[in-house]
Amino acid sequence: MTFHGGSLSRMTLFLAGFFAFISFPAEAAVKKYQFDIQVKKVSRLCHAKPIVTVNGRFPGPTIYAREGDRVIVNVTNHAKYNMSIHWHGLKQYRNGWADGPAYITQCPIKTGNSYTYDFNVTGQRGTLWWHAHILWLRATVYGAIVIMPKQGTPFPFPQPNMEQIIILGEWWHTDVEELVKQGTNMGLPPNMSDAHTINGKPGPLFPCSEKHTFAMEVESGKTYLLRIINAALNDELFFAIAGHDMTVVEVDAVYTKPFTTQAILIAPGQTTNVLVQANQLPGRYFMAARPFMDVPLPTDNKIATGILQYKGIPNTVLPTLPQLPAPNDTAFTLNYNKKLRSLNSAKFPANVPLKVDRKLFYTIGFGKDPCPTCLNGTKLLASLNNISFVMPKVGLLQAHYFNMKGVFRTDFPDKPPKPFNYTGAPLTANLGTAHGTRLSKIAFNSTVELVLQDTNLLTVESHPFHLHGYNFFVVGTGIGNFDPVKDPAKYNLVDPIERNSVGVPTGGWTAIRFKADNPGVWFMHCHLELHTGWGLKMAFVVEDGPGADQSILPPPKGLPPC
């Protein structure tokens, strides 16, 4: 509290301060961070290479805030690549300018330039994360966001004694951007990663990695909150700790009905908070992560490990490995996702939209385009409703806000051009996939139901989709073709999980609902970097509402020029 002028006595000041303290919660704070994008040489798997980092750290620094805080992050780019940072899962109400995806809400920060992301953390608490949102730079440019509940608000689960961030990632031997360039030139997927990592370290099952192993010390009888983030580019991951059950209490910064499991499944972009009790025989126990892939596509199947070590146990004791589900255990993943339910308590209700204003049905497909210079004369592409998204040269949010003509069209179709047996025999015929920067226009405050349907165009595959600017409720999911008559009858409209990133199962569908109450241009894309690059993305233009506080805020000074 600031008082100007000296008319108040010190005693009155003290009392005013005291009463303010007892009668009101703590005022929102401003948290400031400086992110310097710089190249640093890092050694992993017996080999050093330069990587792009924030402040020379890998993973990058954690952003700590409390619900209600204002966060200001000044990003200065010293690297040779263009840069932009996305604050994954933050709703950015009316403030798409701080969302970060390059060419969607801003043009990137060029070498030698800076941009300040300024946003409020409103009505959200839990674990989220930030990452580069341009090229494949998020391979090394990522970190956690920890939002504590408002002062005096306890967690709706037993208070842990300690907490620990666990970020799962991927590591390539070579320069990731060069790999992607080669892949694009050949029209093929680039080489898969050489290792998975836990907090940037692959663990002792990899060569030269004894010293690159994450270890966490625990004390018998204590409870630990693990904030787990999947920052991998292309792999859904299983995670488990030998001998220890985990109790899931939150996903994507939304409290869940607690349930206990031996392993979790976490897709790129998702976060999961679990409670772990140090209640086993004191020793050393491996925590491990390995991909889930239930179609015959090549994946980096090697296991990343870290160590859960009881206090006082010497490093000479060999740790035991956990039982992870088999890499293709579809039954586990479907069963696990079924257990995820919103807490739906009086304090944290699940406000599921019951009436739907706009029904959308989007098919996910792969295809090939002719490419004379490519290896097979074709290059792979991906599409939604048979449209492969073309990135614009200016930010879509600017184009929308300033009414710039010719940047995008708002005729993205609400359903596929031709219905077909989506998950039948593989379809390899030329499907005439269209290319375009086409967006879907949504009326302010309307409720949207979107069914994402995987198809067998070339191959079925599991896809984690992320929607910017919103959380959504996952009201239904199934294998095979969505049935618009029978399937909605089975929706969970009571306590479905609410999140910002959801997996569409291999050869199946997922239905989500959200209320379009956040005006702006909001990106929706597959969070597998490979598929996003092939065009598996689109964006919603949510119109302004009638109220004074229901329209997009004016752009900040210093928005990067295009």
Report the half-sphere exposure of 543 (CA within 13 A, side-chain side). Answer: 11
Domain range for 198 is: 157-342
Residue 2 counted as domain residue: no
> d(Cα 251, Cα 272) in Å, to the nearest integer?
4
Could you tell me what percent of the chain has a pLDDT over 90?
88
Task: Judge residue 238's burial from the number of C-beta atoms within 10 Å of its C-beta, 0-12 exposed, 13-18 middle, 19 or more buried.
Answer: buried
Residue 279 counted as domain residue: yes
> d(Cα 100, Cα 107) in Å, to the nearest integer?
9
Is the per-residue pLDDT at 158 higher than 90?
A: yes
Q: For position 137, which CATH number holds?
A: 2.60.40.420
- Give the containing element (helix H, strand E) for 223: strand 223-230
Residue 552 counted as domain residue: no
Domain closes at, from 99, 125, 153: 153
Same domain, 205 and 246: yes
Task: Share the mean pLDDT of the chain.
Answer: 93
Is the per-residue pLDDT at 203 higher than 90?
A: yes
Q: For 55-74, write each residue's pLDDT tens digit.
A: 999 999 999 999 999 999 99
Provide mean pLDDT across the span 282-291.
98
Provide mean pLDDT across the span 128-149.
97
Same domain, 368 and 332: no
- Amino acid 458: pLDDT: 75
Q: How confident is the model at residue 1 (pLDDT cuts 50, 70, 90)?
A: very low
Nearest to 134 by CA among 110, 116, 112: 110
Domain closes at, from 299, 315, 342: 342
Same domain, 364 and 332: no
Same domain, 295 and 412: no
Beta bridge partners of 259: 248
> d(Cα 345, Cα 306) in Å, to the nearest integer?
35
Provide mean pLDDT across the span 144-161.
97
Provide mean pLDDT across the span 294-303.
84
> d(Cα 280, Cα 46) in Å, to the nearest integer?
34
> d(Cα 37, Cα 340) in Å, to the nearest integer?
37
Beta-strand ranges (E) seen in 347-446 are 358-370, 378-384, 387-389, 434-436, 439-442
Is the per-residue pLDDT at 257 higher than 90?
A: yes
Q: How confident is the model at residue 430 (pLDDT cuts 50, 70, 90)?
A: low
Sign of CA pseudo-dihedral 242, 227, 38, 192: positive
Residue 124 counted as domain residue: yes
What DSSP assignment string belongs to 152-182? T---SSPPPSEEEEEEEEEE-SS-HHHHHHH
Instruction: Look at residue 515 and give its three-state secondary structure.
Output: strand
Same domain, 267 and 371: no
Strands 387-389, 434-436: pairing kind: parallel
> d(Cα 328, Cα 338) in Å, to the nearest integer?
18
Nearby residues of 235 by Cβ (< 8 Å), 6 or more positions away: 170, 193, 196, 268, 291, 292, 293, 299, 300
Q: For 437-478, write each residue's pLDDT tens digit.
A: 999 999 999 999 999 999 997 777 889 999 999 999 999 999
Q: How confident is the model at residue 431 (pLDDT cuts 50, 70, 90)?
A: confident
Residue 465 counted as domain residue: yes
Instruction: Look at residue 440 and give its three-state secondary structure.
Output: strand
- Amino acid 16: pLDDT: 38
Residue 548 counted as domain residue: no
Nearest to 453 by CA among 382, 501, 509, 505: 509
Residue 558 counted as domain residue: no
Asked if 377 contacts 186 with a C-beta cutoff of 8 angstroms, the reply is no
Sheet strand arrangement including 439-442? 439-442, 537-542, 520-526, 463-467, 501-504
Same domain, 323 and 189: yes
CA angle 56, 61, 64 (to 5 degrees): 160
Q: For 300-312, write each residue's pLDDT tens digit.
A: 888 999 999 999 9
Is the per-residue pLDDT at 22 higher than 50?
A: no
Q: Any idea which of 117-121, 173-177, 454-458, 472-476 has the lowest mean pLDDT?
A: 454-458
Provide mean pLDDT across the span 333-355.
97
Provide mean pLDDT across the span 255-270.
98
Q: How confident is the model at residue 429 (pLDDT cuts 50, 70, 90)?
A: low
Same domain, 371 and 516: yes
Is the per-residue pLDDT at 5 higher than 60?
A: no
- Amino acid 26: pLDDT: 58
Is the per-residue pLDDT at 14 higher than 70?
A: no
- Amino acid 460: pLDDT: 75
Same domain, 85 and 131: yes
- What's the number of domains the chain is made of? 3
Residue 475 counted as domain residue: yes
Q: Which residue has the higher pLDDT, 425 or 296?
A: 425
- Amino acid 462: pLDDT: 84
Domain closes at, from 153, 186, 219: 153
- Amino acid 554: pLDDT: 97
Q: How confident is the model at residue 20 (pLDDT cuts 50, 70, 90)?
A: very low
Same domain, 138 and 97: yes
Is the per-residue pLDDT at 2 higher than 50?
A: no
Peptide bond into 202 cis (omega under 30): no
Provide mean pLDDT across the span 512-535.
96
> d(Cα 433, Cα 241) in Å, to the nearest integer?
44
Record the pTM. Answer: 0.94
Same domain, 297 and 384: no
Nearby residues of 263 by Cβ (< 8 Å), 6 or more positions away: 238, 239, 240, 246, 322, 323, 324, 325, 332, 336
Same domain, 423 and 526: yes
Provide mean pLDDT across the span 110-138.
97
Same domain, 289 and 327: yes
